[in-house]
Chain A
């Protein structure tokens, strides 16, 4: 027999109280586990998305005052003024030190055209490059070839055009053009765009050899996007290259902020559960003053009495920690996808940390009950009734 046997037997006798203490520890711990798991998945998901799809560097003319984001709507103003880059300048990108990391360079030209008396944004692209940059675009039809146009879903609806239809664009001359396909709604600006082959667009907009912007995708794990941007600026003196990771960083900061407020709530839960454990254990000590008195009379030392109470707290913390981890992980896997639209995987590395935190909290909660147990005077509690 050992102190452990006695403590376990005692705990199993008080099942209802034990369950209450376990429940409160498990709830608090599960909050911690769920928050950590969900946010870690959200961060991973954000990086994944940022590195799997889309551009991570945007190139534009240096004099440009208009902030430009990938797929943002501010591009309309670009057609005014002289914010153009020579298309041929882009070739210099392939001279930078990190050129091996460059996967896609997608040039773009924006302008305004008139169709049936209404104005519309015309976007010139290189179909090959653009399709590699935006693999998630769903097109009813084909990417645009020569003399063809891909319509955003909104403009297609407004003009009542579908794949195979032919219509006319009014600029300095009339262009007959065939609809190669309709882009399914992306929720972004391109829903309103007419998307053309770059060279057709340059022709229609009378901007031969010019582009407004280029999106670059550098391929690598944790790659030095900032450094690649700097090298591009060095190679192309007239452009400004901005790493999208700065944008991702901004989103990361937001996630971190949300996470810390959620953690603050979890911390309060943990404090409440520590108080529940403390009061449950205190009640248990009061229930068994007689037994503690007996142990005192038969030779239990201060240290032995304290270790019994502390052990009780540690056991509650250990079991509560495991239950909390499982509950928190399940909750994270259920609710994570709803909150951040990312796949949540169990964080097994978290288990030992969660258990240690939970045991430490419960041992702290056991401090007061342990003090109370030490105060028990066998003479008083063993006085025969």
Chain B
């Protein structure tokens, strides 16, 4: 297997007036292509921050992030946006769909920004999450579980290499959460999946569980 994402000495700190707080401290992590990684840790430990850095939404204060061995800091703006569009897909706890757009339009959004005209990818992605019959529904007309499935379809539509899911079942009841998890597990055969979760139970099909506390990786469980 080849290296997909590599974080070396990644520190993220914020300047708050005169003092500086460190949220991620000298984090080293290598994720291989096709791996399913779970990240666990108490609230405020830096899980979301870590995920944002992996997803190129945030930049480390020091340290390097490499995608397939290539240093993101050395990439051009265009290469970075290309990775955002084609390499990485996001799934959020609060779904984050656009309320004015239908399910199909929400899924088509990344494709529109990437200037791809592959409409059948939109249909494929919605079919994969089992929502072919809800194409024209607005997020407000869908249940929480359905909304999260639309969000997963949106993350999949560009056929990315990495899916970053931040507590994807956190806003759902247990039963719905379980279906979302199995959906993610089913797609994880083809992509590298990094999922933040609070629940030990949800980590059982992952390859590794990263334990994080106070911005530091305190342990890795291989499964």
Contacts and interface: CB of A to CB of B under 8 A. Distances in A.
Given A9-B100, A379-B57, A385 B94 contact: yes
Nearest to A290: B96
Given A9-B101, A291-B98, A382 B92 contact: yes
A301 B167 contact: no
B85 A299 contact: yes
A293 to B, nearest CB: 8
Interface string B74-109: 000000010011000010111011111100010011
A294 B109 CA distance: 10
A294 B113 CA distance: 12
A378 B57 contact: yes
A304 interface: yes
Contacts of A297: 55, 57, 84, 90, 96
A113 to B, nearest CB: 88
A382 B164 CA distance: 14
A9 B154 CA distance: 19
A174 interface: no
A301 B113 contact: yes
B52 interface: yes
A1 B112 contact: yes
A328 B136 CA distance: 41
Given A1-B105, A2-B112, A378-B57, A384 B81 contact: no
Interface in A359-385: 378-379, 382-385
Quick one: which of B94, B99, B113 has the most chain A CB within 10 A? B113
Contacts of B113: 295, 298-301, 304
Contacts of A298: 84-85, 90, 109-110, 113, 154
B189 interface: no
Contact of B108 (A1, A10, A382): A1
Contacts of B154: 298
Interface in A277-309: 290-291, 293-301, 304
A256 interface: no
A378 B81 CA distance: 14
B81 A299 contact: yes
Contacts of B48: 383-384
Contacts of B146: none
B166 interface: yes
B71 interface: no
A2 B96 CA distance: 20
18 contacts: A1-B108, A1-B109, A2-B112, A5-B105, A6-B112, A10-B100, A295-B98, A297-B55, A297-B96, A298-B110, A298-B154, A299-B84, A379-B58, A382-B57, A382-B92, A383-B48, A384-B94, A385-B94
Interface of A: 1-3, 5-6, 9-10, 13, 290-291, 293-301, 304, 378-379, 382-385
